[in-house]
A and B are shown apart, each in its own frame.
Chain A
Amino acid sequence: MGKKGLLALGFLVLAVIIGFPYAAVAQLKPGDPIVIGVPTALGSIEGRDGWMAIQMAVEEINAKGGVQVGATKHLLRAYSIDTREHEPGIPVQDALTATEKLILEKKPHAIALGNFRSEVLLASMDLMSKYKLPYICSIAMTPLFQKKIADEYDKYKYCFRNCLNSPYLAMYMTEVMKFIGKQFGFKKAYIIVQDTLWAQATGKGLDKWLKENGWEVASFDAYALGSSDFSPSLIKVRAQKAQGIVTFFDMPQSGILLKQARAMKIPALLAGFISPVAPENAWDVFEKEVEGMVNMQFEIGPVPVKAVPKSVAFNENFGKRWGKEARVKLSGHGPGPSYDSIYIFANAIERAKTVEPDAVVKALEQTDMQGVVGRIRFGKDHQVVYGVDPKEAALGCCFQWKKPGTRVVVFPEVVAEGKIELPPYMK
């Protein structure tokens, strides 16, 4: 063999070594499982519950024989890795390294649940592109995700999102604030958010809307991750006589904001999202001081909505699978979409008749099915469409904590089971 032959052989070997990981995962032999990778912040309540919901969906599908790919059925297998990205001080790079470790070790065909922090989500999109992995994100919410897909479709077409995003959250909140303004004559709000991309984006969106719609925004404060003293803002809320406090937080410490507001007798209605206030056990954990809070449930499921039977079934089955204690701790963001994401993948793979990434992406784009969150369809920017009618779109809702410790759905009207009322400390 001459020099040219050796060189050609060398290139061939190199091509096989580099290309093998990509090619191998795209082919399934009979008996091979379809592997789902779940890199997420397992220490966060959203990550923990999302991972439990995914395992539940995998078990349900496997109990029925698995996913039909062409002529054979394949079982699903899900592997998680803790990215710890919800913790203060964890650099984006660490979360990405964990994600890549999972990809290289478990060789998944798709990624579900995914990143918790928007900053990590944006960075991880390049990883998905590099490994050509269909990815459905069910927690991180930044709208920049969609912008990246719209700007560079060919590169980022593998990325999808089925949870609520910041603009949809702002949309729901504007409707709620519209109602609060009309019902109670409130015109002055105070916005308090955590200093992260999604919360800042949502807060700014709402700030703009409030100002354009006759509200006065007394102030807009952001707190660093891990903060647990909100008294500087609460002092100003009281001094400036704000009637409503709008909050956007997903850090564990944020629940204490309510406790501090009650301790300081702040006469303002709290509305928005405080992650620890969403679960069913928040009434007991925060010693009834959540009463009156109007909290978003980003996606239904953890709060069952009668108009969407799958949300009720999910809630009940979660309790059967993981116990009542786990069910009452179900977080307000992530579990429903995480569960749905496995069914979305299974459905798309069955339609594509392969796990080849580009074919799966095409099938995902054509998804139209009913899930825990309502009707699931992806827009051109790969974001699931949210709305106010579960027959037409996926659904988020708003509930108010009322005595004797129940979460009463107050928005959207089509699924509402009660109306927003002023809490006792404001009457």
Chain B
Amino acid sequence: MDCRKIMLPSIIIYGLINSVILALIAMGFSLTFGISGVANFAYGGFYLFSGFLVWMLLNYLKFPLILAIMVTIGVTGLLGFVTYWVILLRVRGIALSEVIATFALGVGILELFRWMGFVTYEFTLPYLKKGMILIAGVPVDYQRLFIIGIGLGLVLFLYFFTHYTRIGLSFRGIAQNERTAISLGIKSDRTAALSLAFGSAMAAVAAIVILPLGIISINTGYEVLLIAVAVGIVGGLESVPGILVASLILGYAQVITGTYFKPEWMMVVYLAAIVLVLGIRPSGLFGKFKELEERV
């Protein structure tokens, strides 16, 4: 098999994996923003907190992996819930204050771990299952297949959850029109707090499946926030279909850049996409957030 024949399927497969990784990272951020209007800039901090929490439960308390995962998702969700009531409730609706408050919290979490000495190469999470298979001659490890599976599963879960459950329907009600939803008896603050909890729990799910591919390092927290914001801006911050399409665009753009140009330019893809989309269509490809202003 010549070089090109291997390269093309590799790019298709690894581009898809990369896209699902981006979608997994961005979905929690997007969910919270779409429902409560809060841009949770502590998202990277929650993501890293989840990674370190699993690591500590596994290594210090010797929890079984599955129990460590369940506890971590629950605790991170609770952290998001508490964050709303303790920090965001008082600044809700003041966008700049929301961003400052959540960003400060995120930086605080990340730098706390740095201060605690969580900075070396030893912090790695185990693969859910070791091994690999060949797909069109391209080796793909099971962990990456899990990522694709969990990414798709999460999208389906979100769809059914928001269409067929009481809490999910209240999410949609608040997202569509908060005042009308309140007049129908939906509690705005409770729903917003739950959206933050769900978004945070989704950050934990993303961390648990993605972090085994690398190590848990502090700068990952900052990188995750950049990814979530970039995907959100390109796709439309409150739009799940937009997030999926943006993830595919950025995921493939990154892999193609890394393969055919230079790997050190991969990070530039996010920044270039943010600048480009903000310049042409500030609401993103599927967003309606600023659509009226754009038309005017």
Contact = CB atoms under 8 A, between A and B. Distances in A.
Contacts of A221: 262-264
Interface string B110-123: 00001001011110
Contacts of A45: 120-121
Contact of B119 (A236, A241, A252): A252
A52 interface: no
B220 interface: yes
Contacts of A43: 114, 117, 119
Given A88-B219, A253-B214, A235 B263 contact: no
B180 interface: no
A253 B215 CA distance: 6
B258 A252 contact: no
Interface stretch (B7-15, B65-73, B99-107, B233-241): B7-15
Interface of A: 43-45, 48, 87-89, 195, 221-224, 226-233, 235-236, 238-241, 252-256, 259-260, 263-265, 275-276, 281, 285-287, 329
A329 B123 CA distance: 13
Nearest to B143: A263
A222 B262 contact: yes
A285 B122 contact: yes
B223 interface: yes
Contacts of B138: 235
A87 B213 contact: no
A40 to B, nearest CB: 14
A255 B121 contact: yes
Interface of B: 3-4, 6-7, 10-11, 14, 18, 114, 117, 119-122, 124, 126, 132, 138-141, 143, 213-215, 217-220, 222-223, 255, 258-259, 262-264, 266-267
A232 B256 CA distance: 8
A224 B264 contact: yes
Nearest to B121: A276
Contact of B264 (A223, A253, A281): A223
Nearest to A192: B263
Contacts of A259: 124
A26 B159 CA distance: 73
A363 to B, nearest CB: 37
Contacts of A256: 124, 213-215
A289 to B, nearest CB: 10
Given A223-B263, A227-B263, A89 B219 contact: yes
A423 B18 CA distance: 30
Determine which residue in A44, A45, A238, A329 has the highest number of CB atoms from chain B within 10 A of its CB, and name it. A238
Given A253-B214, A285-B122, A235 B219 contact: no
15 contacts: A43-B117, A88-B219, A195-B264, A222-B262, A223-B263, A224-B264, A229-B18, A229-B213, A229-B266, A235-B10, A236-B7, A236-B259, A252-B119, A252-B217, A254-B121
